[in-house]
Chains A and B, each alone.
Chain A
Amino acid sequence: MKKQLEEISASAKAEISAVTDEASLRNVQVSYLGKKGKLTAILRGMGALSAEERPLIGALANEIRVDLEETIKLKLDSLKAAELENRLKNEKIDVTLPARSKSTGRFHPLSQVENELTEIFVGMGFEIAEGPEVELSYNNFDALNAPADHPSRDFQDTFYISPEVLLRTQTSPVQIRAMKGKTPPIRIISPGRVYRFDEVDATHSPMFHQLEGLVVGKGITMGDLKGTLAMFAKAYFGEETKTRFRPHNFPFTEPSAEVDVSCFVCGGKGCRLCKGEGWIEILGAGMVHPRVLENCGIDTDVYSGFAFGVGLERIVMIKYGIDDMRYLYENDLRFLSQF
Chain B
Amino acid sequence: MKVSLNWIKDFVDFDTDAKTYADVMTATGTKVEGYEILGEDIQNVVVGRIDSTEKHPDADRLTICSVSVGKERPVQIVTGATNIKAGDIVPVCLDGALLPGGKKIKAGKLRGVLSEGMLCSIEELGVTLHEFPYAAEDGILIIEEPCEIGQDIREALMLSDTVVDFELTFNRPDCLAFIGIARETAASFKKPFVLKEPKYNECKDGEKVGDYISVDIQNPVLCPRYSAAVVKNVKIAPSPLWLRMRLRAAGVRPINNIVDITNYVMLEYGQPMHAFDYSYISSHKIVVRNAKDGEEITTLDGNKHPLNSEMLCIADGEKPVALAGIMGGLNSEILDTTATVVFESANFNRSNIRHTSRAVGLRTESSGKFEKGLPPYNTVPALKRALELVEQLGCGDIVEGIIDVCNADIQPRKIKFDAEKVNALLGTELSFEEMAEIMKPLELIGDKAEGTLLVPPYRSDMERTADIAEEVSRLYGFDKIQPTLFKSEVTQGKLSPEQSFTADLKKLAVDLGFFEIATYSFVSPKSVDRIMLPEDDARRNFIKILNPLGEDTSVMRTTAIPSMLEVIAYNKNRKAEKIALFECAKLYFPTEDGLSEEKKSFVLASCGNGDFYDLKGCVESIFDSLGIKETKYTAEAAAAFHPGICASVKSKNKELGVIGAIHPAVAAEYSLPNDVYLAVLDVEKLFAVADTSKKFVKLPAFPSLTRDLALVMDKDIEAGVVAEKIRSFGGKTLESIKIFDVYTGKGVDEGKKSVAYNLVFRAADKTMSDADADTAVAKILKKLENEMGIVLR
Contact = CB atoms under 8 A, between A and B. Distances in A.
Interface string A57-69: 0000000000000
B721 interface: no
A281 B249 CA distance: 29
Contacts of A337: 515
A329 B474 contact: no
B172 A227 contact: no
Contacts of B582: 105
A255 B553 contact: no
Interface in B705-760: none
Interface of A: 102-108, 110-111, 115, 121-128, 130, 132-136, 147, 149-151, 154-156, 159-162, 164-165, 167, 185, 187, 193, 195, 197, 199, 206-207, 215, 217-224, 226-228, 230-231, 244-249, 251, 254-257, 287, 289-290, 304, 328-334, 336-337
Nearest to A120: B493
Interface string B6-37: 00000000000000000000111101000000
Q: Which of B351, B484, B582 has the most CB of A within 10 A?
A: B484
Interface string B630-647: 000000000000000000
Interface string B473-506: 1100011011111111111111110010001001
Interface in B128-184: 169-172
Interface string B587-611: 0100000111010000000000000
Interface stretch (B222-230, B572-580, B665-673): B572-580
17 contacts: A104-B510, A122-B493, A133-B596, A147-B170, A151-B354, A161-B544, A206-B549, A220-B486, A221-B486, A223-B483, A230-B483, A247-B470, A257-B478, A329-B519, A331-B519, A333-B574, A337-B515
Interface of B: 26-29, 31, 169-172, 350-351, 354, 358, 371, 373, 424-428, 464-467, 469-470, 473-474, 478-479, 481-496, 499, 503, 506, 509-522, 543-549, 553, 556, 567, 570-571, 574, 576, 579-582, 586, 588, 594-596, 598
The 5 closest A-B pairs by CB, nearest first: A223-B427, A247-B29, A221-B427, A249-B169, A255-B470
A220 B172 CA distance: 27
B521 A108 contact: no
Given A227-B486, A249-B169, A159 B548 contact: yes
Nearest to A330: B570
Q: Which of A124, A161, A328 has the most CB of B within 10 A?
A: A161
A311 to B, nearest CB: 14
Given A103-B513, A108-B516, A151-B371, A127 B491 contact: yes
A167 B545 contact: yes
Contacts, number: 240
B570 A248 contact: no
B595 A125 contact: no
Contact of B586 (A193, A199, A287, A331): A193
A222 B493 CA distance: 22
Contacts of A164: 594
Contacts of A333: 515, 571, 574, 576, 579
A287 B466 contact: yes
B427 A334 contact: no
B593 to A, nearest CB: 9
B466 A332 contact: no
A226 B518 contact: no
B469 A287 contact: yes
Q: Which of B467, B474, B491 has the most CB of A within 10 A?
A: B491
A330 B514 CA distance: 16
B546 A160 contact: yes
A242 to B, nearest CB: 10
A155 B553 CA distance: 15
Given A248-B31, A330-B570, A121 B493 contact: yes
Contacts of A222: 425-428, 469, 473, 481
Nearest to B499: A128
A69 B219 CA distance: 123
Contacts of B546: 155, 159-162
A217 B594 contact: no
A105 B491 CA distance: 35
B594 A287 contact: no
Contacts of A215: 486, 488
A136 B516 CA distance: 30
Given A105-B515, A290-B464, A126 B509 contact: no
Q: Which of A147, A254, A289 has the most CB of B within 10 A?
A: A254
A187 B519 CA distance: 30
Given A111-B518, A165-B594, A247-B478, 6 more contacts: A105-B514, A161-B546, A187-B488, A223-B426, A246-B27, A254-B467
Contacts of A330: 570
A73 B147 CA distance: 119
Q: Which of B486, B511, B596 has the most CB of A within 10 A?
A: B486
Nearest to B475: A247
A224 B486 contact: yes
Contacts of A221: 424-427, 484, 486
A206 B509 CA distance: 28
B425 A149 contact: no
A207 B519 CA distance: 9
A228 to B, nearest CB: 7
A265 B37 CA distance: 30
A330 to B, nearest CB: 7
A127 B496 CA distance: 8
A290 B576 CA distance: 54
Contacts of B350: 149
B485 A224 contact: yes
Given A217-B489, A290-B466, A127 B494 contact: yes
Contact of B493 (A111, A124, A193): A124
A281 B26 CA distance: 13
B514 A226 contact: no
Contacts of B474: 247, 255
A326 to B, nearest CB: 12
B510 A199 contact: no
Contact of B588 (A133, A220, A251): A133
B473 A247 contact: yes
A149 to B, nearest CB: 4
A326 B546 CA distance: 24
Contacts of A102: 513
Contact of B484 (A107, A206, A223): A223
A159 B548 CA distance: 7
Nearest to B563: A331
Q: Which of B26, B466, B467, B512 has the most CB of A within 10 A?
A: B466
Given A161-B545, A254-B470, A136 B518 contact: no
Contacts of B517: 108, 331, 336
Contacts of A159: 522, 545-548
A331 B373 CA distance: 43
Contacts of B26: 246
A104 B473 contact: no
B595 A132 contact: yes
B510 to A, nearest CB: 4
